Structure 1
Amino acid sequence: MPTADKWVLSRFKELHEDVVTDAEADGDHVRLTRKSLPPTRFGILKSQDVAASDVEALLDGDVDFIVNIPKAGIFQGEAIDLMKKHGVPWGGLADGIRAARFANPRGYVPFPYEFVMKGLTRHSRVESVAYVDSRRLRVSRAGGLPDLVLYIEETYQAEVVTVNFALDRCSPFDVFVATNPNAGPTDNAKEAAKLAEVEILRWGSTLARLNHP
């Protein structure tokens, strides 16, 4: 079954009134005709774990964004490296719909990574940041401090189910980072992280944590 199926097309056609005038299946791609913007073409995947080989099959020189449909889907580090090499951004379906509103979808950065990357790269202790996968970042630090692997969670409030997902799908990591400023992790989430010997911190505390071994 093609990944660019009727359901996927219908989601992009929901932008019809103000952005998209047509969405057509093009193999495992969707070609979008837009009202007042240039046409664009998105690659579509439906994978729980996106490998570099999955991405390579979509990078034919005429793709501006790669969408992975499952909400729990994860782009592996080598897949991200390949997309970055080609200058093609990635994300879930919600990211793809937002990117379709950009004059140049290649300029899209998934939230919260634009915010997170700015905070990390401006930090005095941080020498470099690399993707382990689409949920984890490896932070290399100055002054002989060991690397830290951060799991990034953007939901409104980190609950035990989100911590367990991280542990099941994305271990190992050092810090579970709850980036939403409006609500901290629940007590059950904190307990699950503690049992797994993983730190669970909000964003401000994460930046402070980078200063310490």
Structure 2
Amino acid sequence: MKWQVRYALENIGGVRGVTSAEPVGDEAIRITTQDLPDIMAAISAAETIDAGLATRYHEEYPEIEFLCGYRKTCVWEGGAIRYLEDNRIGWGSIGTLDSAIPEGNVSTAAHKDFFFSDRLIRQIRSVTNVEREFDRIHTLTLANGRTLRTGMIMQYEPTADAVRSLWDRFGPVDIAWNINPNGNPTQNAIDAGRELGCEVMKWDALKALLKNG
């Protein structure tokens, strides 16, 4: 049993409706609940989950309904997300799994940090195509032909370092989107974005930009 599985078992035991959980092999757990069929989840300690790794977990554990990236720093590539969703396998953090179990939607769950923001941009009619490169990076094509590369920043009040870190890790973006609804980017973050060549903004400003092109 690998370390991330041990921690996952300790965590899952406190989730509402869970009656027991046990390891399956080195990197998966089987979860028993009060009212639903057993759930199998693979638990990964990888820093990055790509399509190849997602496929490997699915081949090793064909019954999995959820792939968990246990590390808080885990990054999901777009190919992995598409593979998992095409095969009706949920994906995301341990918090995502915890939330999905009582709701009974483990196999369709998506990373809770990014789910609502991803859905927001897909509801804008002037956005004609959405390419998800990573869990937090989208390239959007607008009705007028313009493309925008957006990157989500989760921090409550993003700093200049948060903007630069996003740029360094994922490459240039047009928009650094502060998706936390309760905070606002600092002036240093806005200035850092301008220096790099991107705008730092909240949802209302991004929505207006997407609608107006």
Whether TM-score is above 0.5 comes out as yes
- Structure 1 residue 88: Cα displacement: 1.3
**Larger helix percent:** 2
Match runs of 1:122-201 below 5 Å: 122-145=123-146, 147-201=147-201
- Structure 1 residue 115: Cα displacement: 2.6
> Does the alignment pair 1:98 with 2:104?
no
Cα RMSD after superposing both structures = 2.0
The answer to whether the 8 Å contact 2:124/2:211 transfers is no
- Structure 1 residue 150: Cα displacement: 1.1
Moved more, 201-210 or 53-62: 53-62
Tell me, in whole angstroms, the C-alpha distance in 2 between the residues paired with 1:144 and 1:130: 14
Partner letter of residue 36 of structure 1? D
- The C-alpha deviation readout for 1:107-132, integer Å capped at 9, x for no partner, is 32333544324332232311121210
Partner letter of residue 36 of structure 2? L
| Fraction of identical pairs, as percent | 22
SS at match of 1:90: strand
Q: 1:155 to 1:36 in 2, by over 3 A?
A: farther
> Does the alignment pair 1:19 with 2:20?
no
SS at match of 1:56: helix
- Structure 1 residue 208: Cα displacement: 1.2
The answer to whether the 8 Å contact 1:3/1:44 transfers is no
- The C-alpha deviation readout for 1:31-70, integer Å capped at 9, x for no partner, is 1011222210111111111121211111143111111011
Moved more, 200-209 or 84-93: 84-93
The answer to whether the 8 Å contact 2:114/2:136 transfers is no
Structure 2 residue aligned with 1:50: 49
Q: Which runs of 4+ in 1 moved over 4 A?
A: none
> Does the alignment pair 1:203 with 2:200?
no
- Structure 1 residue 11: Cα displacement: 1.1
Q: TM-score, normalised by structure 2?
A: 0.89
Partner letter of residue 144 of structure 1? G
Q: Gaps (5+ residues) in structure 1?
A: none
The answer to whether the 8 Å contact 1:4/1:29 transfers is no
Q: How many residues are treated as equivalent by the alignment?
A: 210
Q: TM-score, normalised by structure 1?
A: 0.89
Structure 2 residue aligned with 1:30: 29
Tell me, in whole angstroms, the C-alpha distance in 1 between the residues paired with 2:2 and 2:120: 39
Structure 1 residue aligned with 2:109: 108
